[in-house]
Amino acid sequence: MDEDDVGTVDVPEATVARLPQYLRALSVLAEAGLQTVSSEALAEAVGVGSAKLRKDLSHLGSYGTRGVGYDVAELHRQIADHLGQTTPWNVVIVGIGNLGHALAGYGGFASRGFRVVGLFDDGAHVVGEVVGGVRVRPLAELPDVVCPGETIGVLAVPGEHAQTVCDRLVAAGVRSVLNFAPTVLRVPAGVDVRKVDLASELQILAFHAQRRASRVPSLARVAEPVTERVGEVV
């Protein structure tokens, strides 16, 4: 596949969601000095079935070599291309409360091609503070920092303010939004939104935990002793 074709291939959303996991596993393999990896080994490292992995990679035009597997460096480059990680992406974070502070101070963004270039908040007690080496600006300065079409916006604001702030991000030229607010955003065509709902994820885990618990017999019943009656033939 030519590099010019990257981004024009129709890749299923479920596959896109797994690509970062494949990329992370390939990075670990490369650091360990491995040059090739079988589909079975890579699938096991990620925690998916090998058939699903092969289908995912086929969407990228990568089929590996029979009896050899995949070239680690080449597959890493190919997935990185599709994820847009061959060039840095600018990121702005709006809402510098507890969550915003944590995101701004996270050191893993830079290693994955994301550069935090702006922090924004309208709280007088926050504006001017330096977090992760970046000064917090008032929201009115958002257009001064956003490079239209090349900046990802991160929303870490309360739900009641999320739509208004999202509108301002879009007006400034942001076309990709990561939303941590507990609300559904309305955006125009051409704007992508990814929602991160931590409470929902916990509820899903609680659902599975409850189902497991309902299948486990009561310890009292398991430990209940069996007594023999006197004179009873057993």
Separation between Cα atoms, residue 105 and residue 136, nearest integer Å: 12
Q: Is 100 annotated as a binding residue?
A: yes
Q: Is 231 annotated as a binding residue?
A: no
User: Taking Cα atoms as reference points, which of 181, 188, 196 lies closest to residue 167?
Assistant: 188
Q: Is 96 annotated as a binding residue?
A: yes
Greatest distance between any 2 Cα atoms in the chain: 93
Please say whether the beta carbons of 60 and 11 come within 8 A.
yes
Separation between Cα atoms, residue 134 and residue 46, nearest integer Å: 34
Q: Is 99 annotated as a binding residue?
A: yes
Residue type, 116: V
What is the Cα gyration radius of the chain? 25
Separation between Cα atoms, residue 43 and residue 39, nearest integer Å: 6
**Regarding beta strands 151-155 and 134-137, do their DSSP bridges make them parallel or antiparallel, or are they unpaired?**
unpaired
Please say whether the beta carbons of 155 and 178 come within 8 A.
yes
* Known binding-site positions for NAD(+): 95-100
Binding residues: 95-100
